[in-house]
A and B are shown apart, each in its own frame.
Chain A
Amino acid sequence: MPVSHSLDGNNTWRKLTPRRELIQWIGWLMLVAFFVFCWQIMTKDTIWAFIYDAPRQGGDILSRAFPPRLFYLSELIAPLWDTLNMATLGTLAGTLLAVPIAFLAARNTTPSLLVLRPIALFLIVASRSINSLIWALLLVSILGPGLLAGIIAIALRSIGFVGKLLYETIEEIDQTQVEAVSSTGASRMQVIDYAIVPQVLPSFLGITVFRWDINIRESAILGLVGAGGLGLKLQSSLNMLAWPQVTTIFIMILATVVLSEWISAAVRKVIV
């Protein structure tokens, strides 16, 4: 036990030995030094006059943004429908693609550990590392602006999320049920159908609904790069510096997000 001895002979308990204390101090010092180093690099091109001016700018924007232009809400109904569709259809497409990839990636269902599993895992990582906004940026440049680019972007990003969580669930199933079904002489597909699918179905639906909820958030802003929906209106309002409209759109997005989060939580409660 670390104890420090003082001159008058009293021993007091300490949390750490002097050696560990020293190591900890050096660790903290290095962290601070690293932070300062990164800060220096990050701010080398920063124009500090703009930063000092920011509170005034913020106040200015705030005074322009209120009150929100509520009449604008009527123009937002169609984009809202587009946003919801983008999220839902994107989730559906992404999930459909994610299911086979997840079965290929799971250690206990993959047909080949050496070839197909790494490929499936790479697809999952690649899809997860790239945000749907970047996918949308790319697809708008390839396919032209519109909902289709947004739907594909959402789908591509959902593959990684659903795929990762689903293959982890498949790897964690109860193996005895698989043995029971395969001992009846069932084929590979029948084993998956009767022993694995019933075990993972509830969490699969939970994951899908969870991703749908995230996709609603993301599809609300995909329009910023031209993929349609509420983000498109946001972009045009920002370009016109129409701050009251921007506030209205923010309120709309916030309401949609809160509602979809509530729906997804309620559905997950029923399923799981």
Chain B
Amino acid sequence: MAEVVSTRYPARWRRPPMFLKSKAMRWLVYGGLLIYVVAAVATIDVNWARAYEGLERGWRFLQGFLVPDFSTRWRDIAQGLEESLTMTVTSTIAGILVSIPIGMGGARNLAPAPVYYACRSIIATSRAFQEIIIAILLVAMFGFGPFAGFLTLTFATIGFIAKLLADAIEEIDEWQVEAIRATGASWLQLVNYAVQPQVMPRLIGLSLYRFDINFRESAVIGIVGAGGIGATLNTSIDRYEYDSAGAVLILIIVIVMLAEFGSSLIRKRVQ
């Protein structure tokens, strides 16, 4: 008599894991993460009494944010905003002007090897350090005020724009370069007629984006003395004037939103 051979299929479907296919590996990774989190949390000593006291202050800040006080410190706020905005404009323009030659030098298809490495190392230095660290050094050298902030933001802009510009130039369509070169164009003409039209939309988009970032950063570097709205914010928080601080924060958020909206409009038109 033939026996009926039945294969058992699972009655319920279970979703297969997306990552870490082996069970042992999953346990290892999740277990390791858990142990790390426990160890990390254990080393934080929180002064709960102090934090509890802070709740009342946190509540006052929330109130200050909802009912901001623009008028009491308006002179300081206006001066901070003026410094921040002018700093943003000048440093973005100056940074882009310096970035263009460095970006061209950092593109392998335009520049010879020594220039390429020199430009790429400038870019790497500028990207390695945060704005705030550069600001500390420049404030120590140039003294307090927006001039140090201007230099900081210019330096940071170089790393950002030059890197992305160099990458954009390296990705251009070589046929157009070939076509212009075939007419006997010089290097400058080559850049002007074959490279520039291809990367210009991207450069404009990046510049607007960087303008945005520079304004946000200008609010930060004031904390270490580089001028701008950050200095105003720092003072008002130090004085526990949370309603003025709330006003400054709201202004920052509104300006960033406006800048983002405006730059997305322009970028849509350019691209």
Contacts and interface: CB of A to CB of B under 8 A. Distances in A.
A66 interface: no
Interface stretch (A108-116, A123-131, A167-175): A123-131
Interface string B34-56: 00110011011111001101100
A224 B224 contact: yes
Interface stretch (B68-76, B137-145, B164-172): B137-145
Interface string B140-157: 111101110010000000
A130 B249 contact: yes
A133 B41 contact: no
Interface stretch (B102-110, B115-123, B173-181, B213-221): B213-221
Given A42-B150, A47-B143, A138-B237, A143 B50 contact: yes
A142 B58 contact: yes
B61 interface: yes
B18 A126 contact: no
B18 A202 contact: yes
B161 interface: no
A213 to B, nearest CB: 13
Given A61-B137, A146-B46, A35 B89 contact: yes
Contact of B46 (A34, A57, A148, A201): A148
Given A35-B89, A144-B47, A61 B145 contact: no
A162 interface: no
B216 A129 contact: yes
Given A82-B43, A142-B58, A137 B132 contact: no
B51 A218 contact: no
Contacts of A217: 130
Contacts of B85: 38
Given A42-B146, A46-B145, A54-B141, A141 B252 contact: no
Contact of B90 (A38, A89, A130, A141): A38
A232 B129 CA distance: 17
A260 interface: no
Contact of B51 (A43, A92, A144, A250): A144
Given A51-B142, A148-B46, A221-B132, A138 B90 contact: no
Task: Tell me what chain B mostly uses at the interface: helix, strand, loop, or mixed.
Answer: helix
Nearest to A198: B18
B212 to A, nearest CB: 10
B257 interface: yes
A131 B57 contact: no
B234 interface: yes
B128 interface: yes
Given A141-B240, A143-B51, A148-B51, A133 B220 contact: yes
Interface in B77-94: 82-83, 85-87, 89-90, 93
A57 B140 contact: yes
A35 B152 CA distance: 17
A114 B28 CA distance: 44
A182 interface: no
Interface string B228-271: 00100110011010000100010011001100100000000000
22 contacts: A15-B193, A35-B90, A42-B147, A43-B147, A45-B145, A51-B143, A57-B141, A58-B141, A88-B40, A89-B40, A125-B257, A129-B257, A131-B220, A134-B230, A142-B54, A143-B58, A146-B45, A147-B45, A147-B46, A221-B130, A224-B132, A238-B136
- Which 9 residue pairs spanning A and B have beta carbons closest together? A50-B143, A129-B256, A144-B50, A42-B86, A38-B86, A85-B40, A143-B54, A38-B89, A142-B54
Given A82-B43, A224-B223, 11 more contacts: A34-B89, A38-B90, A57-B142, A61-B140, A61-B141, A85-B43, A131-B219, A137-B223, A147-B44, A147-B45, A221-B133
Interface of A: 15, 31, 34-35, 38-39, 41-43, 45-47, 50-51, 54, 57-58, 61, 81-82, 84-85, 88-89, 92, 125-126, 128-131, 133-134, 137-138, 141-144, 146-148, 151, 194, 198, 201-202, 205, 217-218, 220-221, 224-225, 238, 250, 253-254, 257-258, 271
